[in-house]
Amino acid sequence: MSEQSFTDEEGVPDTVAIESKLPLNAIDIESQKDMESGRYHSLRSLHKWFAARPTPAVRLAVLASVYPGEIDSDELLRLMKIGPKELDSGLAEFVENKFTEEKGSGTLDDHYGYPNPNTQSPTKAEIEKLQGTLREAWGGELPTILDPTAGRGIIPFEAIRYGLPAKANELNPVPSLILKAGLEYAPKVGSLDPDIREWRDKIHETAKENIEPYYPTEEPDRQILNSALTYIIQCDSCGGEIPLVSKWWLNKDSDGGDVTVPVYEDGAVRYTYSRAESSPDGFDPDEGPLRGESAECPYCGVINQQESVQQKIKSQDFEFSIYGVNYETATGERKYRAGNELDEQGMAKAAERVESDFDLLTFLSEPVDVSSRISDPSSYGMEEWRDIFTPRQLVVQYEFYKSFEQFKPEIRSEYDDETANALLTVLTLSASRSMNYNTRLNQWRDLFGYGSHLFTDNNLILKKMSVDNNLSAPRRGYRKHSDHVIDSYETLVSYVTDMEPADVLSSDAADLTSHWEPGSVDAAIVDPPYYSSIMYAELSDVFYVIQKEYLEDVHPEIYGSNLTDKDNEAVANPYRFEEIADDEQSKDDLADQHYESKMEEIFAEVQELLSPGGVMTVMFTHREMDAWDTLTSALISAGFTITATHPIKTEMSDRIGVQGKASADSSIFLVARKEEAQSPSRTLWEEVQDDIRQAARDQAEEILDSGYNISKTDTAIAAYGPTLQKYAEEYPVVNKKGEEIRPREALSQAREAVTGVLAERFLKTDGIEQIDSLSRWYILSWLIYENDTIPYDEARQLGVAANVDIDNIKRSTKIWGKSGKDIQLKDHTDRVQDIVMLKSDSADNPSSRKYPVNPTDTRFTYNIDAVHSAIHVYEREGARAAWQWLSDRNLKSNREFEVTVTALLEVLPAESDMRETLVNLVSGETGDYLDINLSHIDMTKEGQTELSDHQ
Ligand SMILES: C[S@@+](CC[C@H](N)C(=O)[O-])C[C@H]1O[C@@H](n2cnc3c(N)ncnc32)[C@H](O)[C@@H]1O
């Protein structure tokens, strides 16, 4: 949104399009469509990787970082394949209008009238025209794009798809393999069809034959697809068998569903099948013995505590148990039955094989190296990666691997090296993708009647109701997964036929100049790891160990190490520093320092690789201010200055938007150029502080005026862009003592300024600044988040803006409580002592530690305490008593009380009980008494102030 001309360097555009105004609204809508449609970029469907960016946002970053000067909105959108072909102009308005129109029953593509842009490539003529413009601007050559932390490579792939030379680097071997397939083999080797499917069939047939004995069945015409798998432990008290199942559902459908009904006899359990609608009286499928993490014994009723249950799993003191089976009939119907003895025999046979087959003993025996506590499989006794499989799953993995190895020499002898390697790579991705659906870490999903994939929550937690997926079966088995992978590969081929492959490297991005020439890159698009959000390397070992078995001889440069590289990974993982942390430096500080220095090294490498005047666009998404602080420090220390910033939506949020739908989170694109020489002059913080606040205010106001679709919370994050830009311009910034001011200080100022703008815009009640800080914070929290649950870091920052340290007041006021990583705002029911009990001599006095607000007080420390007490008295004792209570405290003419009441009426959600009582309090006889001016408030249920969030 902010602009700055930058360089007069020869052969480098003075400004590029990303440094000027862009049709952000339309691109946001398109990015959101891309995420919602479920029709992802084919690089995504090739294999699991983390943190994909939507194609429209990626295309914008690639094209606008090299396109000279300003770009006409229609031209840009057309080039990005956004909008219907037949429309010549007004594409942005068209997209925005379609967004607000009621959607019919068809697909998103039907509604918008054009296909998802990620499925569309530019035409030859468009590429030629683009290349002409770029050559002219970049000194006769096409600009080269670099992605130093490429992940699976959507950024460099889109670059080559538009005919631009690209370099892609990635540290982690798992996405490196995707890069090889999609960015090297797809353009270079091209289609592998139909040969690859023939090899796939051979591998499948051989493995299937060897797997069959482990899936015995009474009815040979039935094919076992998935089995619901649990653990049986012995009760601490009576020794009876307890299956660790919390819900007995196998599948849910519109009539009810399929359930397993356990029969507990003489300390042993067996399973029977029933439709839920006709299950026996007294049976509730929602009530299994597992209650949270503990288990109730079905024989003696004793609760086996969490520690005991976990210890049994950890020490392998359990038996695997199949409690339900999903099968396919000869006519192709999917049905369910209960687990039976034959299933147990199949599992036992596999266990015997694992014990006795020498070759299997070392298969996948690499140690689990995961330090994040909640996610660590070793806390469930899984010390080696092979332990994440049941014996049967392990045998299945092994048989597929053996079969692949059997055909490898034939593949090698029939094709040239590159084609053979491409075939082996895509076949390995197929096997690795199949494994993603067949481990003890996959959850049984009763809503669908089969198992989830491994990383529904980006962690490695053991699932007590998991899935055994028969990979030799047609549905959800190896054939299905390999078809998916092969189809994705072939689609990628169709996008980049005749294009130059990318230059792919698998290395630490802090070491790029050992591989590539300085000055060999014109634009770097960086999508760095998200600070502490995803521990890529820890999570990906699970794929690495299996891929290494398959491909160590094919790609020795990728599979050289025992496990993935965690030391060089640019993430902030406190657990890795637990052992060296001390009183001086906490593990969080050390993790933060590691991330910052790693990112600084990466940016410094990019800086060296960039040609003079080259552009770097960084995409960054994070809600925590610390993450922004660290990233910006790294960027500036590496010698960049920020030339423009844009807020853009690139992530599906896990938060729920106002209207109950998931909304997209904002990222910021920070555009940076090489600072030729860093300014030696230091800027005094006091001199720049006002400008920084103003930059944030201006950005917030510009966003609000433009109708840009963004939530109130994301407005604050969007304002980080210009704030950081201003900070970088003035860098180094110091206080009067000469101490350096970190970006964090500037961001705090920005947040405070934006909170002020939001309060001015959306709060009609005057005088909010007159009430105490705590009450103001409470009101602003409701105003901005429209919800009682708020991410802790944001609530804390909002506290800074309102001048209250929320940690300090937590215990004494009980105004918020912790809820995971969030805080929860409390209401009167959690804070106010019971007035009836207080008045009664015989009753025990309510605990003032638990409920800090005493409604019999005549004066209150905080305005919110008075209002919460008034609401409590009204609800507990009725309108008359409330009238008396208010008049005893002379609240009629209390301006602060009035401001707090009216502001709360404005910000509380329509459905909140607190608001309902407040409405009563300002109506009827208490209302007559208080005589509050409510003319600026819409008192109807719907009359809530809302920013036009477009979620
Ligand atoms: C946000 S993701 C990139 C996602 C990518 N844009 C995509 O669409 O798949 C960041 C990537 O940085 C990689 N990474 C972390 N540290 C690295 C390092 N030192 N060198 C190179 N890559 C690194 C991670 O493995 C991860 O794949």
pLDDT for 806-834, tens place per residue?
999 999 999 999 887 789 999 999 999 99
Parallel, antiparallel, or unpaired: how do β-strands 521-526 and 610-620 relate?
parallel
Specify whether 236 is located in the same domain as 377.
Answer: yes
C-alpha distances in Å from residue 885, one per residue of 712, 779, 932: 37, 23, 16
pLDDT at 139 over 70: yes
Q: CB–CB of 649/665 below 8 Å? A: yes
Residues 6 or more apart in contact with residue 583 via CB below 8 angstroms: none
Contact 695, 642 (CB under 8 A): no
Structural domain that includes position 110: 17-190+497-534+571-678
Does residue 170 line the site of ligand 1, with CB under 6 A? yes
Which residue is closest in CA terms to ligand 1's atom 27? Answer: 151
**Which atom of ligand 1 is closest in space to residue 509's alpha carbon?**
20
Q: In 105-154, which ranges are E strands?
A: 145-147
**Same domain flag for 156 and 41:** yes
* Tokens encoding 453: 């994939």
Res 946: pLDDT: 34
**In the predicted structure, residue 901 carries a pLDDT above the cut 80:** yes
Locate the ligand 1 atom nearest the alpha carbon of residue 53 and give its number: 8
Res 11: pLDDT? 81
Helix (H, G, I), strand (E, B) or coil at 2: coil
Instruction: Return d(Cα 64, Cα 78) in angstroms, integer.
Output: 13
Residues 662, 692 within the same domain: no
**Which of 482-486, 624-628, 923-927: highest mean pLDDT?**
482-486
Of 843, 786, 850, 842, nearest to 813 by C-alpha is 850
CA 148 / ligand 1 centre spacing (Å): 8
Q: Does the residue 52 lie in any domain?
A: yes
- Window from 97-111, 251-265, 673-687 with minimum mean pLDDT: 673-687
Give the per-residue pLDDT at 651: 66
Ligand 1: distance of its center to the CA of 624 in Å?
A: 19
As to burial, measured by CB atoms within 10 angstroms (0-12 exposed, 13-18 middle, 19+ buried), residue 795 is buried
Q: Is the CB of 122 under 6 A from ligand 1?
A: no
Q: Left (φ > 0), alpha (ψ -120 to 50) or beta: where does 504 sit?
A: beta
Helix (H, G, I), strand (E, B) or coil at 746: helix
With cut-offs at 50, 70 and 90, classify the pLDDT of residue 374.
Answer: low
Say what the alpha-carbon torsion angle 58, 59, 61, 64 is, to the nearest 10 degrees: -170
Candidates 911, 841, 918; CA nearest to 872 is 918
Do 762 and 948 form a contact (C-beta atoms < 8 A)? no
Q: Indicate whether 688 and 727 sit together in one domain.
A: yes
- Check whether residue 885 and residue 821 sit in a common domain: yes
pLDDT digits (tens, 9 = 90+) for 496-549: 999 999 999 999 999 999 999 999 999 999 999 988 888 999 999 999 999 999
pLDDT, average across residues 232-249: 97
At 753-803, the pLDDT tens digits run: 999 899 998 999 988 888 999 999 999 999 988 889 988 888 888 888 888
Same domain, 152 and 222: no
- pLDDT given for residue 936 in this prediction: 78
What does the pLDDT read at residue 652? 59
Residue of 62, 157, 169, 171 with the most ligand 1 atoms within 8 Å of its CB, for mutation: 171
Q: Which of 40-44, 80-84, 121-125, 486-490 has the lowest mean pLDDT?
A: 40-44
Last-in-domain residue among 678, 708, 731: 678
Mean pLDDT of 44-50: 93
Assign 3-state DSSP to the chain and report helix, strand, coil percentages, each to 5: 45, 15, 35
The answer as to whether 453 is a domain residue is no
The amino acid present at 942, given as its one-letter code, is E
Q: Is the CB of 746 under 6 A from ligand 1?
A: no
For ligand 1, is residue 49 a contact (CB within 6 Å)? Answer: yes
The alpha carbon of 706 and the centre of ligand 1 are apart by a number of angstroms equal to 34
Q: Residue 674 maps to which CATH number? A: 3.40.50.150
As a whole number of Å, the CA-based R_g of the chain is 31
Whether 179 is in the pocket of ligand 1, judged by its Cβ within 6 Å, is no
Flag whether 484 is in a domain: no
At 241, which helix (H) or strand (E)?
Answer: strand 241-243
CA of 150 to the centre of ligand 1 (A): 5
| pLDDT recorded at residue 419 | 98
pLDDT the model gives residue 665: 67
Asked whether residue 775 falls in the same domain as residue 920, the answer is yes
Query: Are residues 697 and 647 part of one domain?
Result: no
Report CA(466)–ligand 1 centroid distance (Å). 30
Q: Which of 647, 678, 709 is the last residue of a domain?
A: 678
Ligand 1 atom showing the smallest separation from residue 154 Cα = 8
The string over 150-170, giving b where at least 16 C-beta atoms fall within 10 Å of a residue's C-beta and e elsewhere, is bbbbbbbbbbbbbbbbbbbbb
- Ligand 1 contacts CB of residue 171 (under 6 A): yes
Assigned domain for 876 exists: yes
Instruction: Report which protein residue has its CA nearest ligand 1's atom 17.
Output: 569
| 421 DSSP 8-state letter | H
Residue 558 lies in a domain: no
**What's at 79, amino acid-wise?**
L
Co-location of 715 and 769 in the same domain: no
Q: Assess if residue 303 is contained within a domain.
A: yes
Residue 621, pLDDT score: 82
Q: Is 387 exposed, middle or buried (0-12, 13-18, 19+ CB in 10 A)?
A: buried
What share of the chain has pLDDT > 90, as a percent?
A: 73
Average pLDDT of the chain, as a whole number = 91
508 within ligand 1 shell (Cβ under 6 A): yes
Residues 32, 116, single domain; the answer is yes
Domain count, the chain: 4
595 CB near ligand 1 (under 6 Å): no
pLDDT digits (tens, 9 = 90+) for 156-210: 999 999 999 999 999 999 999 999 999 999 999 999 999 999 999 999 999 999 9
Predicted pLDDT of residue 794: 83
Q: Select from 361, 482, 452, 394 the least CA-distant residue to 211.
A: 394
Query: 359: how many CB neighbours lie within 10 A of its CB?
Result: 8
Describe the crossing of helices 863-888 and 895-907 by its angle, rounded to 10 degrees.
120
Closest to 523 (Cα-Cα) out of 64, 56, 169: 64
Distance from residue 951's CA to the centre of ligand 1 (Å): 29
Indicate if ligand 1 lies below 6 Å from the C-beta of 174. Answer: no
Higher pLDDT, 279 or 846: 279
pLDDT the model gives residue 333:
92
152 C-beta closer than 6 A to ligand 1: yes
pLDDT, tens only, 594-611: 999 999 999 999 999 999
Ligand 1 atom closest to 540 (CA): 25
Encode pLDDT of 427-473 as tens digits.
Answer: 999 999 999 999 999 999 999 889 888 888 778 889 999 999 999 99
Q: Look at residues 762, 787, 818 and tell me which one is the last residue of a structural domain.
A: 762
Could you tell me if the CB of 175 is within 6 A of ligand 1? yes
Q: How far is residue 532 from each of residues 101, 445, 621, measured CA to CA in Å?
A: 38, 28, 11
Order the strands of the 166-169 sheet from edge to edge: 503-505, 166-169, 145-147, 521-526, 610-620, 662-674, 640-656
Same domain, 752 and 640: no
Instruction: Name all contacts of 375-381 with Cβ < 8 Å and 24+ positions apart.
Output: 375/459, 375/460, 375/461, 375/535, 375/538, 375/539, 376/460, 377/441, 377/460, 377/462, 379/310, 379/314, 380/310, 380/313, 380/314, 380/462, 381/313, 381/314, 381/315, 381/316
Kindly state whether residues 516 and 650 are assigned to the same domain. Answer: yes
Residue with tokens 């990628």: 492
462 lies in a domain?
no
Distance 175 CA to ligand 1 centre (A): 9
Atom of ligand 1 minimally distant from the CA of 569: 16
Pocket test for ligand 1, best of 569, 620, 622, 648 (most atoms within 8 A of CB): 569
Query: Does residue 507's CB lie within 6 angstroms of at least one atom of ligand 1?
Result: no
CA distance 795 to 780: 10
Residue with the nearest Cα to atom 12 of ligand 1?
A: 149
539 close to ligand 1 (CB < 6 Angstrom)? no
Question: Looking at the domain assignment, is residue 420 inside a domain?
Answer: no
